[in-house]
Amino acid sequence: MREPPHRQPVVSLRLRSVARGWFVGTIVAAAIVLASSGGDSDRLAYGDGLIYRYVAENLTTPPDQIHHVVVERGTSLRYGRIGLPALIWLASAGRPPAMPWAQAVVIVLAAGAASAATAALFPRAGPLAPALPFLAPGVPLAVAGGYAEVLAVALVMWAIVAVLAHRWWMAAALFAAALLTRENSLFIVAGVGALAVLRRRFGAVAVLALAFVPLIAWSLFIATRYGRFPMFDPYLRVTTDTVEEPMVALIHSFTDAYSAAAIVIVVLHLAMAAISVLLIRRSILGWLGAFASLQLLVAGPFSWRFIGDGARTGVFIQLFAVLAVVAWLRRGWCAREVAADPFARGEP
């Protein structure tokens, strides 16, 4: 039996388009990894990318034996972001010597998945659609460094595809995985939840709320094992000023900036936030970009101290600003509901 018109899936997952998107995305990501590492396994990740690998290698290490570098950077926070380490462990079958390559494979496949989701959202963009995520600077930087932002982007993008296809349970599962990968996925979940409320889809809101259950359960486990909830780890607010009170953080990002470059990064993200807000009625992507930009209100000066880290931190702001602009300039490329006015009547 056919569903009523308002229940019809709005995103057509054309296998050829999605497969092409995945292929192009993996090729681009693999090229980035090879260019940055030169094929050297010791250079497949750097910075926090190495911490994700360390967590994968030390899932059962007692708290008092955790490496001091990880302790200094917040044990609870690092083990709270379990999404990427869990996949590295699975992909390597738990064998530390294989983990550098497993991490690179997971990152490349995740980048391909993000490109495939973009191809689903822009089914008439042809071969350009898979390249769109890489226009957000945080994506290629995360690919090169082995960072979890790539996986979080892939999970969030496919969750949005699921939402537009009215697959709320699938969306909740994908959002749950994204929240366990990078906590700033919260802003995108909030944007989708707000849209569901706007559309009076209260059943969908209830399903989406379940995305937080795994995060809460895992956070309780981390608090029991390491003494702190991940989001209350002293590294964020005591050791550094990565997170501060809303608006206070944004003000301090200017008044207490570590450098002129840090101020430039903040200004650029504010400009991208403004673009999303201006395009909020043009597409769901502008709407989600506006919600992603709420992160700027709580991101303190340390978030922007290093240019690369700042670019990764704001990856959702960049990504949805880019996609919102594309949806505005090339409306014909979009799946129907991608370019719909979020405030218009009817289903999202």
**pLDDT per residue as tens digits for the range 239-296:** 999 999 999 999 999 999 999 999 999 999 999 999 999 999 999 999 999 999 999 9
Please determine, for residue 7, whether its predicted confidence score (pLDDT) is greater than 60. no
What percent of the chain lies above the pLDDT cut of 70?
95
Q: Across all residues in the chain, what is the average pLDDT?
A: 93
Name 299's bridge partners. Answer: 243
- Cα distance between residue 289 and residue 119, in whole Å: 18
The phi, psi pair for 167, rounded to 5°, reads: -100, 75
Mean pLDDT of 2-7: 40
- pLDDT at position 252: 97
- pLDDT at position 4: 41
Mean pLDDT of 142-165: 97
Q: pLDDT tens, 300-346?
A: 999 999 999 999 999 999 999 999 999 999 999 998 889 888 887 65
Alpha-carbon 268 to chain mean position:
19
49-78 as b/e: b if 16+ CB within 10 A: bbbbbbbbbbeeeeeeebeeebeebbbbbb
- CB–CB of 320/286 below 8 Å? yes
- Find the angle CA(16)-CA(133)-CA(143) to the nearest 5 degrees: 105
Q: pLDDT tens, 210-245?
A: 999 999 999 999 999 999 999 999 999 999 999 999
Distances (CA, A) of 25 to 22, 102, 118, 325: 5, 18, 10, 20
* Confidence (pTM): 0.94
- Cα distance between residue 130 and residue 228, in whole Å: 39
- Cα distance between residue 308 and residue 135, in whole Å: 15
- CB–CB of 81/230 below 8 Å? yes
Q: Which residues have a Cβ under 8 Å from the Cβ of 5 and sit 6 or more positions away?
A: none
Tokens representing 154 are: 């892939």
> What are the percentages of helix, strand and coil residues in the chain, rounded to 5?
75, 0, 25
Q: Residue ranges of the domains in the chain? A: 5-339
- pLDDT at position 345: 61
Name 243's bridge partners. Answer: 299
Gyration radius of the chain's alpha carbons: 20
- Find the angle CA(91)-CA(85)-CA(241) to the nearest 5 degrees: 160
Answer with the residue of higher pLDDT: 342 or 87: 87
Please determine, for residue 39, whether its predicted confidence score (pLDDT) is greater than 90. no
How many residues are given for the chain? 348
Distances (CA, A) of 126 to 28, 134, 245, 326: 16, 16, 43, 13
Is residue 320 classed exposed, middle or buried when 0-12, 13-18 and 19+ CB atoms within 10 A define those classes? buried
